[in-house]
Amino acid sequence: MVKIVFFDVKPYDKKFLEPLVAELKEPVEVSYLDSKLNKDTVELAKDADIISLFVHDKVEKEMFDKLKCTMIACRSAGFDYVDLTECAARKIKVATVPSYSPSSIAEFAVGLSINLARNLKMAFERSKNADLSLTSKLLGFEMKGKTVGVFGTGRIGKLVCEIFRGFKMNVIAFDVYEDKEWAAQNQVEYVKTKDEVYARSDIISLHAPLTQENVHMIDSKAIEKMKNGVLIVNTGRGGLVDTKALIAGIKSKKIGGAALDVYEKENLSFDHDWFSVEEGIMPDEDLSVLLGFPNVLVTAHQAYFTQEALKEIANVTISNIAEYLQKAKEQPDRSFSLKNAPRV
């Protein structure tokens, strides 16, 4: 019997996964674990034929000798937490969920932008303290007529552009793969360089993949080229932003505000309730600094978190597993490819 272990599973995940697992044609033994997979918990996966992972799991090269799995089913579009080179060497098949309700993330990104533009975090905090007065600190700006720069025009980035156009904003975009027909239909202007996005944008929204070229694309040099008071929104990948450079930009007031749904060191701090005594003290000083700024919003990788997205993640994940089980039966040497294998 095939043994499947799902890591980092919350009750809301299990609600969608369990009925679909029951429909698999192959007999399977399934474990749903709240634990995240990493070098300290790898023993929990040692007997699994298939492991299913989420974004806070980590499969590094030194862990593979303790694994017998022949498939890794990622429950995310990203796959940077899996060592694909080692998987290929060991003929371990990897599948992802390339798209799960792009609207969830796009709508969230635009919502964060509105929050920053109208200083809603500060307004909510003042209201909680029964301060219902107006002050110049709450003075915001209209979206209409402003320029938003979007990095990455995949499914999510395109929807973000289209929503921003609904606010009658000027939308510019940068992507190495330009969809000129779509851009013309939606009045989106592709620009040739990142520097042009930095220089022209009132709001910058990040939806690019985390490639070697894109690591810390928002760094001190990029920030120097931006407009004074620029707003930065990241619902893409945490590593796109150099945290220390971001903090410096906020302190100098070059950056007017930032909203982060992803964070380059989120494995250390996200998915924990640091307010609880049991959890102890947050280990990340940079994140503590960001949380203290009145013009910074931090959400814990929440942009995808809708009923529609969870349903789609479960559907595609189990479909990927079913495809693997069928093909592995037909080709035991695992010489086949999977429909949703990572595209690198």
What pLDDT, on a 0 to 100 scale, did the predictor assign at position 116? Answer: 98
Token digits of residue 264 = 């380059």
Catalytic annotation present for 272: no
What pLDDT, on a 0 to 100 scale, did the predictor assign at position 77? Answer: 85
Write down the pTM of the prediction: 0.88
What pLDDT, on a 0 to 100 scale, did the predictor assign at position 72? Answer: 98
Q: What is the mean pLDDT of residues 210-216?
A: 91
Confidence band of 278 (pLDDT split at 50, 70, 90): low
Identify the active-site residue in 237, 279, 285, 308: 237
Considering the chain, what percentage of its residues have pLDDT values greater than 70? 97
Token digits of residue 277 = 């005594």
What pLDDT, on a 0 to 100 scale, did the predictor assign at position 338? Answer: 96
pLDDT at 329 over 90: yes
What pLDDT, on a 0 to 100 scale, did the predictor assign at position 157? Answer: 97
What pLDDT, on a 0 to 100 scale, did the predictor assign at position 344? Answer: 66
Q: What is the mean pLDDT of residues 313-339?
A: 96
What pLDDT, on a 0 to 100 scale, did the predictor assign at position 100? Answer: 81
Identify the active-site residue in 301, 308, 334, 343: 301
What pLDDT, on a 0 to 100 scale, did the predictor assign at position 99? Answer: 82
Token digits of residue 6 = 């799902």
Residues 6+ apart with CB under 8 A from 297: 112, 115, 116, 121, 257, 258, 259, 260
Catalytic annotation present for 266: yes
Confidence band of 120 (pLDDT split at 50, 70, 90): very high
pLDDT tens digits, 94-113: 999 988 889 999 999 999 99
Helical spans, DSSP H, in the chain: 11-21, 84-89, 102-117, 120-128, 155-166, 180-186, 194-200, 220-224, 243-251, 266-269, 285-292, 307-330
Higher pLDDT, 134 or 117: 117
In 3-state terms, what secondary structure has residue 179? coil
pLDDT at 152 over 70: yes
With b for 16 or more beta-carbon neighbours within 10 A and e for fewer, the 77-102 pattern comes to bbbbbbbbebbeeeebbbbbbbebbb
Residues 6+ apart with CB under 8 A from 327: 336, 338
Catalytic annotation present for 207: no
Q: What is the mean pLDDT of residues 11-40?
A: 95
What pLDDT, on a 0 to 100 scale, did the predictor assign at position 134? Answer: 87
In 3-state terms, what secondary structure has residue 309? helix
What pLDDT, on a 0 to 100 scale, did the predictor assign at position 101? Answer: 84
Q: What is the mean pLDDT of residues 207-218?
A: 93
C-alpha–C-alpha distance, residues 209 and 95, integer Å: 17
pLDDT at 281 over 90: no
Pick the closest to residue 96 from 320, 302, 322 (CA basis).
Answer: 320
Confidence band of 275 (pLDDT split at 50, 70, 90): low
